[in-house]
Amino acid sequence: MLETLSAGGPVMIPIALCSIVAVAVFLERTWALRRARVAPRSFALQILALAEQGRFDDAVAACRSADTAASRVLAIAVENRGRSRAVIKERIEEVGRREAAEMERGIPVLGTIASIAPLLGLLGTVGGMIVTFQAIQSSGLGNVGSLAGGISQALITTFAGLTVGIPAVVANRWLLSRVDGLLLDLEEASLALLDALEGGEPS
C-alpha cells in the first residue's frame, strides 16, 4: 500500500496532508456541533417555563450557569425584557450571528480541501503524463516499464485526489446542514421565549 502511494510522486504529500486536516476538522466540528452542546431542548424548555412563571432572575441565572449557544441567546432575550419586541429581536439576532459564525468555524476548510484535492490529483496526473512522454522521447515505445511508471503515477494521484475530495464535499455539506438545523432550533426557542416575555410580567 505504501509503495503504491509513494509511486504517486511528491504530489501525494499535500494530498495526504489535506486528508489529515479534513478528518481532524470533521471530527472536531462533529463534536462541537452536538445538540447537547449547542441547543439542548430540555434547557430551552426550562427557560421558557421560568419565563412563563415570571421567574426572570432564575432564568438569567440558569442561562449564565450554562455554556451553550442557546443559553447565550436566551439570556439576551430575558435580560432585555420590557423593551419592544423589535429591540429584543435585534439583540437576539446580533448574538445569533456571532453564535452562527462560531458554529461554522473551520467548515470552510473542508470546502477548500474538497476543491483543491482533486486539483492536486490532476496536477499529479499531468506530472505522470510528463514522465511518460519523457520516457517515450528517451527510449521510445519499446520500454514498457518506464511508460508504466508515468501512467501509474498519473492514475494514483487522480485516484487519491478524488478519494480525499469527494468525502470532503459530503462532510462539508453535512456540517453546514447540521449548523442550519441547530440555528433553526435556536430561532424557534428564542421566538417562543419572546412570546412568553410579552405575555409575562417582570418580577
Kindly calculate the radius of gyration of the chain based on its CA atoms and give it in whole angstroms. 27
Tell me how crowded residue 57 is: count the other CB atoms within 10 A of its CB: 12
| Residue with grid cell 421560568, as numbered in its chain | 50
User: Does residue 28 carry a pLDDT above 90?
Assistant: yes
Give the SS3 label for residue 48: helix
What's the CA gap between 185 and 148, in Å, rounded? 56
Average pLDDT for 188-199: 86
pTM for the model stands at: 0.81
User: Does residue 117 carry a pLDDT above 90?
Assistant: yes
Domain limits, the chain = 2-106+165-199
Q: How far is CA 21 from CA 15, 50, 90, 186, in A?
A: 10, 43, 37, 29
Contact (CB, 8 A) for 170 and 22: no
Q: Which cell numbers hold the place of 166?
A: 469527494
Looking at residue 201, its pLDDT comes to 47
